[in-house]
Structure 1
């Protein structure tokens, strides 16, 4: 895969995460073994283990990540993310209070819209 840029649009409902802030991580993975592990990891585990994962897998080599915390009804400007070549896949994790994996696989080559709602979130792929 070539490097480049991806754009992330964020829409946040007034009652997102049952009216609580939402931590969101967008992770671009360059290591196939790590990607396989992360595909099975619910967001709760990602947020609990991410610091150790970042120590075990070097940023810029095995993974790149962006992290935010947004509040319900927040207006978020368009996020433009610079990508390095060689990604095998991407994931978005959202720290929701409700049960569920709260993890979505993404194609790093595509622009996306993250929609944070009351009990879950969704990711829509946009055509470039």
Structure 2
């Protein structure tokens, strides 16, 4: 099955289009906010063009949606994101910059948890 026809992806596109319609925007209106032409928006909404991670973020921000909440819904639908077993951490240095660096840590994975722990121990020494 083509991944752009996966049920979860089709549901995501429906959510994005529904929000655009709820805001009363045309495809051209959304295109202006994204600094993209109307045909680009149409291709995304019909599934003939894929959305990458950065474009997903831009769309959610333009549509006034929470990108992390929508991503959690998407990952839960795919069955590959264990609910309640992730945490979002920001580094101290990044909170001072205009754009904060965010890393998502999956605490359910033992190798990642031990690597993170050993890295913290090295910093303390």
Normalising by the residue count of structure 1, what TM-score does the alignment of the two structures yield? Answer: 0.26
Greater Rg, structure 1 or structure 2?
2
Structure with greater helix percent: 2
Normalising by the residue count of structure 2, what TM-score does the alignment of the two structures yield? Answer: 0.26
Higher relative contact order (CA 8 A, sep 6+): 1
